[in-house]
Structure formats: C-alpha cells, structure tokens
Amino acid sequence: MPRIVRIHELGGPEVLRIENQDLPQPDKGEVLIRVKALGLNRAEVLFRRGQYLENPPLPSKIGYEASGIVEAIGEGVSKCKPGDIVSLIPVRSMSKYGVYGEAAVVPEESIIKHPPSLTFIEAAASWMQYLTAYGALLGVAKMTKGDYVAIPAASSSVGLAAIQLALLEGARPIALTRTSEKKAALEKIGAEHVIITQEENISERMKDITGGKGVRIVFDPVAGNTVLELAKGMSALGILIEYGSLSGEHTPFPLILALKKGLTMRGFTLFELIQQPEMAERAIKYLSDALAKGRIKPVIAKVFPFDQIIESHQFLESNKQFGKIVVEI
C-alpha cells in the first residue's frame, strides 16, 4: 500500500499526515505514477492554511509538483506509457490531484517527458517556477533584451528562475531581498544588482540603477504596501505583475502613479498560462530546450526524505532557503 499525505484540518506543518491507501487506478484520461520526488511550493502552505485559491474539502490531498515513473494509464491516454520517466506541471485542483505521496493519479495533460539529463530531484523542482516566470515575463510583460526587471523575494525558486530567464533573454535582473545574507549568492547566480529592502530605499535604488528612467518590469510575489514603493521606482508604461501575496497585507493600487506614468498592475498565476494550450506548448518547448542545454538549471536549497514532510514545510516557512525545497521518495 503506497503512503500519501493528507490534511484533516487546516493549520501549520503539523497537520500534514502520512497515511496508507490502496493503490489507486487511473480513470479515463488519467495516469498513475510512482513518485520519486516532490517539489514544494508556497501555494501548498497557503492551501493547508485555507488561504489559497482553492479551499480544501477535508480530508484533502495536497501537492502540485512531482517526478516519477508511469505505472499505469487510463483509457484514451496516448501521451505516455508504463515505464516512462515523467514530471508534472500543476493542475488546478490540489484536493483532487494532490501528488504528495509514493503514488499519484494525475490527468494526462499534466504529464511532461522532461529532458533525460535531469535527475528526478531536478525535474520535480522545475516546472512550477520556470513556467510561472516564463508566463509572466515573456508571455505578459514581453520582456526583451535590455529590459530592467525587478524581482522581489529573489531567493525563492520562482525568483531565481526569473533571474535565469532574464539573463537568457538579455534582460537586466535586479534582485530584491530583505537582508544582505543572500546578496552574494544572488550576485553569483547572475543578478546584475541587489537591493537590500530593509536597509535601502527601494524606489531610489531602482532609479539610480536605471539612470533615472525606472524599471519597466516588476515581478512581485510579496504585495502589500511595498507595491507603492515599487511603483515609485518604475518607468513610464511599466508593468507590475503580482503573482503572490506573501506579505498577507491589503495591497493598494498605486492610482496616482499609475495615472502619471501609465502603469499597469495585474495579477498572474501559472494557470493563466496552462489554460492557453498553444502558449503552454511554446513555454514547455522553450524551457525543455533550455534545461537540456544547461542554459537554465534549478537551484536546489535542500532535499528532505518523505518521512520528514512536516520538517520540509517547517523549513519552507522559515524563509532560510535559497532555491527549491525537494522531498525525495
């Protein structure tokens, strides 16, 4: 009997329970995989707290990202066959298709045959972060060579993915981080500039770095009142993309600055990209090619064994990580 993780109540990491279940069988259009590694995401923290886009019906499965081996396929599945090594892009319903466990049933459309050069750990650490960054920066903001891109929470897995994609496109990434503890690591991975938000004036630094013009693209998961300061440091016709709400604060719209500069402020989630099949296909091909050629590479913060799923979430909430946290099975 494979073990899976479920939550029976909302709350902190301690609500994650490892339980036995009968081996599930895939229905029409579904695939059963033997999971080898899980990638952790902030969305899963919000989900188990009851603060996410989807409210979990209790008890509930949990988990978006995984890699593994196809065990069985349901009727009509043509994208893969038993024995294939695959990884998963997230599907909208974690409660239905949560992948935390030794086995998981997922819809066929979530399956990706990743580059064979990737390990299971690397494959489980790739798609949420790179697809989110690609969809926002290349799909929405139309990032091009020379664009300045400000990236708050830059040491997160999505932040590091954004830095890598900016460099790949010839853009100029500006990493924002709360303390100087991660400055050297951010510079090493390629951030052209690093702004220490607890020590420096964010908008003044953004203007100084850009010679007074301001930053055209801001890719922000923090939200809250900081958006006002970010907007001050943006250029005319800039775009402020909010893809999270880590601050937990009310997020104002910088109306006066938007009127003066013609700014755009809009939300983005990975599912916006996934729901556009042609764009998603282009993104997966672009990222698969870049991963295969080593032009981008997921940064792994720490790997936990499955039995330490609670500890892995405690580490995720500590904000000490630099890159992606993975659970190996």
Per-chain mean pLDDT for the chain: 97
Domain range summary for the chain, segments of one domain joined by +: 3-126+298-328, 129-271
Q: What pLDDT shows up at residue 216? A: 98
Q: What pLDDT shows up at residue 248? A: 87
How much is the average pLDDT of 16-33? 96
How much is the average pLDDT of 2-17? 97
Question: Is the pTM of the predicted complex or chain greater than 0.85?
Answer: yes
CA 191/CA 130 separation, integer angstroms: 17
3-126+298-328 and 129-271 in the same fold: no
> Could you read off the pLDDT of 188-211 as tens digits, one per residue?
999 999 999 999 999 999 999 999
Strand 60-61 and strand 85-88: the pairing is: unpaired
Q: What pLDDT shows up at residue 134? A: 98
Q: Which of 111, 129, 69, 63 is nearest to 298 (CA)?
A: 129
Q: pLDDT confidence of 92, banded at 50, 70, 90? A: confident
The CATH superfamily holding the domain 129-271 is NAD(P)-binding Rossmann-like Domain (3.40.50.720)
Q: Phi/psi at 282 (nearest 5 deg)?
A: -65, -40
**Percentage, residues of the chain above pLDDT 70:** 100
Burial readout 257-296 (b: 16 or more C-beta within 10 A, e: otherwise): bbeebebebeebbbebbbeeeebbeebbebbbebbeeeeb
Q: What pLDDT shows up at residue 166? A: 98
How much is the average pLDDT of 245-265? 96
Cβ neighbours of residue 321 under 8 Å, at least 6 residues apart? 155, 156, 301, 302, 315
pLDDT at 170 over 90: yes
Give CATH for domain 3-126+298-328: 3.90.180.10
How much is the average pLDDT of 99-103? 98
Q: Which token pair is 154?
A: 């830059």
Q: What pLDDT shows up at residue 172? A: 98
Q: What pLDDT shows up at residue 25? A: 93
CA 135/CA 250 separation, integer angstroms: 25
How much is the average pLDDT of 101-120? 97
How much is the average pLDDT of 46-50? 95
Q: pLDDT confidence of 53, banded at 50, 70, 90? A: confident
How much is the average pLDDT of 277-285? 96
pLDDT at 1 over 90: no
In the block, which residue shows the tokens 């500039």? Answer: 193
Q: What pLDDT shows up at residue 69? A: 98
How much is the average pLDDT of 268-272? 96
Q: Which of 124, 48, 57, 95 is nearest to 310 (CA)?
A: 48
CA 255/CA 28 separation, integer angstroms: 49
CA 54/CA 292 separation, integer angstroms: 33
